[in-house]
Structure 1
Amino acid sequence: MEIKTKDIIRFFENDFSYLSRQYEWDTNGIQIIVHDNNISKIVLSLEPTIDAIEFAIKEGCELMITHHPLFFRPIKRVDIYNPIGKKISLSVLNQLNILSYHTVLDRADYSLNDYIADVVGAKVLKGFADLEKESFYKFVVFVPKGYENKVIDAIDAAGAGKIGNYSKCTFYTEGTGTFLPEEGTSPFLGKIGKLEEAHEYRLETIVRKKDLEKVLKSVLAVHPYEEVAYDIYKLEMGEEYSLGRVCGFDNEIDFTQFLKLLSEKFNLNNISHNNSGENFSFDKFAVVTGSGATFWKECKKQNIKVLLTGDMKYHDAVDAYENGVVIVDIGHYESESIYMNYLAKLLEEKFKVKTIVYKSKLKINHWRPDNA
């Protein structure tokens, strides 16, 4: 079975997560596309660094997938003597496609934060911050008897009619439709100038907002009528998504045990925190991978004592401390790079391709006198 880059794109943007979940300032999806060849080997890297791209080329990978995007902001020129220009030229000349999925993975149903919870043995209790809802609509179309299965297949092919792990979820009722074909029409049933009655089904399903246009186009392509009657209703229901997670342990854990657990699970020799030395106990914490230290304010609102994240700045540490919130910083790289291992395994199982996780040289290192 041939796997193309478009298959990987469809998976990340329509199945695993949704492009609609990215923040406005972010860039997700296609970074560089230079071929439509079969994908047999994928490299995953937290960053699209020059060394990561050179590694992918050396390993013969056709595709690179990163968490942090290659293009955070528009570029005005391509200069192969600066880093961004060199990355572009290396990728193009060596036929390496690059995709990046950043905040769409941060806000996926199974996000980086869910994976962190699993790694440390905690349960996800709820979403943490920036709660939003994925809008749903009811799509209703009137179909002549005998064509209902074709329309259901078209709805399914367009990504609609899914509830949980069930697909092709529809409901239809029988009825009689009437129409009078006028001059200039080419009716599927009946004759021009004669009132016609048709045995029809009122077929309905649910559709995500982002899929509405695609569903309508797919249905119209298989519907036999010259003019198709359909209705679209916005629903109050919606699939909630968020940034970060509130996690809980079955039993209380003290702060020192928590640090030891993190050190063991993430293979860390250094963990930063703003705790003054109190060895308190807790049973829940919030996690926002990457640069999430500013979310200590949300912790205070929700009466959560501990925030697990990366990139803690001094003033955040001081402000959080004075407001009773302990920030635990395991590092931006350390909190996110582990997720690439999960994605690699997921892609191997789903697409039967070989994956390689590249461990970046970019991560922040710590020097100690005993290393000298």
Structure 2
Amino acid sequence: MTTVHDVCKVLKQIAPLSLAEEWDNVGLLLGDESQPVSRAITCLTLTHDVADEAVSAGAQLVVTHHPIMFKPVKQITMARPEGRLLLTLLQNGIAVYSPHTAWDNATTGINQQLAELLELTQIAPLRPRTGPEQVKVVTFVPPSDVEPVRQALWNAGAGVIGNYQQCSFNLQGTGTFFGLDSTNPAIGKSGQLEQVEETRVEVVCRANELDRVLAALRKAHPYEEPAVDVFPLKPVPDGTGAGRYGTFPEPVTLGQLTRLIAQQLKQPEIQFVGDPGMQITRLGIACGAAGEFLRDAHRVGCQAFLTGEARFHSCLEARDLGVGMILPGHYATERFSMEALAKRLKDHFPEMKVDPSQVECDPIRTSLHVASEVGE
């Protein structure tokens, strides 16, 4: 029996919540993790019509890209639209999960999918993410006490590198010390020079865990005064990050690129900024409404930038920077990925019925005959 917890676990593997922006509201936002799931729906935005669809389909879970309760909710009543939505979901036992910017930024997420859809090469994050601030702790231990000291360090949270735990480096050597009369050395005697075999033990830990790690080290170490070195480490990119950019195998014009994006995203019309004849070799990508990534794209040498929608002044800025900007629409740059996510969940849980919403559509419509439609 598949539960909400089981599905959430897989979603967190596909799009780790640690990749989400700090301001975001991601993860399981509504529901009971122990609840069984036999039917799920994915969507870009959980609106009233999608909620009604989920109720009619007998779904127990909706995976929505855009979070519900993105802003603080002070009242949940039928008198308010968000209250009616939440009450409908609650009364029908429908859980809600949102991956949002974790899915945007994931290694197989929306921006990566867009880059691969356009056959870019040398794909990398527009805003690389660095790992947490870390330090390296070095101590020197008699060989017979290495194991308990290392175990104490690991238990305190040290020795974690990515998905690996209990990491350390160990090197044999000789240590010397001369204990004064007031000392009580664990090895040898005070008042004379001692030479002892020691193992140099190195581990990394998060900077905010250093006090706990040092306390555990001193408690487990056999020496009265263990020698300890602490080295600050420069944060380095961990391979993840927000947005993407990449290079075309052959240069294309902005006009050609706009037509290619329109074809791939099935959009009959696309807005763009720039000279259609300008040559593009490198493209920046940030799905949704991400005009704030324009400067990042320019910084890494992109001649064009793809996002769903942007403010008027961002378009002016793109023109001033000489960067072509392509705007297929918010819906077009993200909805396709929720269809792909439904397929991934279906492949992982073959016993569960998973489909993208059939009622969801882009709220923005275009027409080539607006004047005649309004009677002009």
TM-score w.r.t. the length of structure 2 is 0.73
Match of 1:313 in 2: 311
Secondary structure at the aligned position of 2:131 is classed as strand
In 2: Cα distance, 1:311 partner to 1:124 partner: 25
Q: Is residue 288–residue 329 contact of structure 2 (8 Å, CA) maintained in 1?
A: yes
Match of 2:57 in 1: 59
**Letter of the aligned partner of 1:369 in structure 2?**
H
Q: Distance in 2 between matches of 1:237 and 1:316?
A: 31
One-letter amino acid matched to 2:240: Y
Query: Per-residue deviation at 1:282?
Result: 1.6
Matching residue of 1:246:
245
Paired AA for residue 58 in structure 1? S
1:134 matches 2:139: no
The AA in structure 1 aligned to 2:339 is N
- Deviation, 1:16, is 2.8
Residue equivalent to 2:196? none
The equivalences for 1:211-222 within 5 A come to none
Matching residue's letter, 1:273: F
Q: 2:66 maps to what in 1?
A: 68
Are 1:365 and 2:365 counterparts?
A: yes
Which one of the candidate residues 320, 327, 337 is aligned to 1:329?
A: 327
Q: 1:314 to 1:202 in 2, by over 3 A?
A: same
Cα gap change, 1:320/1:145 in structure 2, threshold over 3 Å: closer, same or farther?
closer
What SS class does the counterpart of residue 125 from structure 2 fall into? strand
SS in structure 2 opposite 1:109?
Answer: coil
Query: How big is the shift at 1:281?
Result: 2.0
Q: 1:109 maps to which residue?
A: 107
Q: Quote the Cα distance in structure 2 between the aligned partners of 1:96 and 1:20.
A: 25
Residues 305, 324 of structure 1: 8 Å contact kept: yes
> How far, CA to CA, are the matches of 1:237 and 1:318 in structure 2?
35
Q: Which amino acid aligns with 1:53?
A: A
8 A contact 1:312–1:327 mirrored in 2: no
Inter-partner Cα distance in structure 2 for 1:38 and 1:274: 49
User: C-alpha deviations, 1:104-137, integer Å up to 9, x for none?
Assistant: 22222333110001112222432113x3213286
Q: % of aligned pairs identical?
A: 20
Alignment of 1:170-249 (within 5 A): 236=234, 238=236, 239-249=238-248
Change (3 A) 1:267 1:127: same
Task: Encode CA deviations 1:349-372: one digit per residue, 9 max, x unaligned.
Answer: 223332111152353111232996
The residue type equivalent to 1:330 in the other structure is P
Contact residue 115 and residue 245 of structure 2 kept, 8 A: no
The change in CA–CA distance for 1:49 and 1:299 in structure 2 (over 3 A counts) is: same
Deviation at 1:68, TM superposition (A): 0.5
Q: Distance in 2 between matches of 1:342 and 1:120?
A: 16
| 1:304 partner amino acid | C
| Kept after mapping to 2: 8 A contact 1:289/1:335 | yes
Following the alignment from structure 2 to structure 1, what is the Cα–Cα distance between the partners of residues 267 and 165? 47
Three-state SS of the structure 2 residue aligned to 1:315 is helix
SS of equivalent residue, structure 1 residue 116: helix
Compute the displacement of 1:248 (Å): 1.3
Q: Gaps (5+ residues) in structure 2?
A: 173-185, 187-198, 214-218, 222-227
1:260 alignment partner in structure 2: 259
Over 3 Å counting, the alpha-carbon distance change for 1:123 and 1:42 in structure 2 is farther
Tell which structure's C-alpha radius of gyration is larger.
Answer: 2
Distance 1:34 1:265, change over 3 A: same
CA contact 1:170–1:203 (8 Å) conserved in 2? no
Distance 2:349 2:279 in 1: 44
Quick check: 76-85 or 235-244, which moved more? 235-244
Kept in 1, the 8 Å contact 2:306–2:327? The answer is: yes
CA shift at 1:298, angstroms? Answer: 2.6
Q: Distance in 2 between matches of 1:208 and 1:42?
A: 38
Q: Tell me what 2:48 maps to.
A: 50
Counterpart of 2:132 in structure 1: which amino acid?
S
AA matched with 2:101: T
CA change 1:209–1:104 in 2 (3 A) is farther
Counterpart-to-counterpart distance in 2, 1:161 and 1:326:
40
CA contact (8 A) 2:120 2:246 kept: yes
**Contact 1:63-1:97 at 8 Å conserved across structures:** yes
CA distance in 2, matches of 1:139, 1:8: 39
CA contact (8 A) 1:106 1:112 kept: yes
Amino acid at match of 1:297: R
Compared CA separation, residues 273 and 7, structure 1 to 2 (3 A): same
How does the TM-score come out when normalised to structure 1?
0.73
How far did residue 236 of structure 1 move?
4.7
